[in-house]
Chain A
Amino acid sequence: MTSEQEKAWVRECREGNTRAFEPLVNEYKKPVYNAALRMVGDPDDAADITQSVFVKAFTKLHTYDERYKLFSWLYRMAINESINFLKEKRRFQSLDEDVAAPEELPEAHVDGERLNKEIQEGLMQLKPDYRAVLVLKHFHDLSYEEVSRVLDVPEKTVKSRLFTARQLLKDVLSKRGIR
């Protein structure tokens, strides 16, 4: 989808054509779903969050500033929605779950599927703010500037969080036997 096509769909949605939103959902559902999935770790929760993001996006489309990319706006909602979901979930987590120590595993060759699972579990041990920068930078390949816009923090903060997050994730995975 070109930028012009995207703007045309957005304009049609704003004029009340509900169906014009469908190509936008189809274009961005995969990255938004994946951002939510990496943030919350559960496919069903990620699907609910993605649905909520798009419904909110539709109802708030009049507030979207077309000078910026639509995906930045959607990512921002996806990250915020995920963080809110995690806060809500945390309220109901038991103390035991909250402080559970990561399982320390012997260093070993791990296949792709298990490695992906370990990475996701490692991510889940980081604070959501750190997780968010890693997700946007490494899984979605956003620039510092784009991450800064999505998270609404200065680029300097993005760099600082990213560097710390990488080091933390490296340490977490190392404890799980992945070096």
Chain B
Amino acid sequence: MEDRYLQLIHQELDGVNSPEEHAALGAYLEAHPEARQLYDELAALSDRLKGVPMEEAPADLTYRVMTAIARPQKSPAAARSWLPSVLEDLRAWKWRYALSFSAGLAMGFIVLVVALDTTDNTAFLRGVMGLKGDVSGFVDTDAEAITLGSVQGNVHVASSPDFLRIEVQLEAAREVEFRIGYDSTALAFCGMRLSDSEDTSVLRLQAGEIQISRARKGRYLLILRGQTDRLQPLHFLILDGQALLYDGMLQTGRNR
């Protein structure tokens, strides 16, 4: 087959032939059955490709991106190397615990069980933490009601000059997971208190994100310490398996 007509066949499939080219190709196909067969096969292929539906992107993709850009940007190699940064954060925050106690801030956190999970690739810090004492001087900055059919509850955010308090009250028909994404350059996780709980929640931490899975019914109090004067909003979402149930931003109201 002449190259010119092969090109016209492909251009015809792409809808870019001029009326003259269209007519010339029509005449050629009429006179050359093998060219007609090729055209028909390629047209069928083109139709099949156009018939392949677009897949939905994963439900938590926006959250993943927004959480990632809220963190300090690392090179891909550095991003893969999560363990040193987690250990570094852990060491840094143990010092801050000590400082918090000794400074008499009326807030103490006792780490009952802290262990690095080395059994999977994500290997978050896992554990249970208890909060002692009272924290005062907080000002409410945001509150959201959660009315999702299978999940009911509310989330409150309050800030003091040095801390951010997030209180999540949940009652779910079955176990769900909730995540709180924060700017790890400005905030760091300090502690958590779980009360009125009928579940066996699992806390997972990584830089810039708190994950609480297997949550069903309970009141979760999370404390973060602010490191800078300006704070980005928190990213809060609730997932049921892979399905995203809730995705919202929570104002921190901090602007000292």
A interface residues, Cβ below 8 angstroms from B: 18-19, 21-22, 25-26, 29-34, 37, 43, 47, 50-52, 54-55, 58-59, 112, 115-116, 119-120, 134, 137-139, 141, 144, 159, 162-163, 166-167, 169-170, 173-174, 178-179
A119 and B52 within 8 A (CB)? yes
A170 and B41 within 8 A (CB)? yes
Q: Is B174 an interface residue (CB 8 A)?
A: no
Alpha-carbon gap, A116 to B45, bound state (A): 12
B interface residues, Cβ below 8 angstroms from A: 6-7, 10-11, 13-14, 16, 41-42, 44-46, 48-58, 61-62, 64-66, 68-70, 73, 76, 232-233, 249
Alpha-carbon gap, A178 to B41, bound state (A): 10
B68 and A37 within 8 A (CB)? no
A116 and B46 within 8 A (CB)? no
B61 and A51 within 8 A (CB)? yes
Chain A neighbourhood of B16, CB < 8 A: 144
A163 and B10 within 8 A (CB)? yes
Alpha-carbon gap, A50 to B249, bound state (A): 22
Chain A neighbourhood of B58, CB < 8 A: 33, 43, 47
Alpha-carbon gap, A174 to B69, bound state (A): 45
B57 and A170 within 8 A (CB)? no
Chain B neighbourhood of A115, CB < 8 A: 48, 51
Q: Would you give the shortest CB distance from B175 to chain A, in whole angstroms?
A: 23
B57 and A30 within 8 A (CB)? yes
A22 and B66 within 8 A (CB)? yes
A47 and B57 within 8 A (CB)? yes
Chain A neighbourhood of B44, CB < 8 A: 179
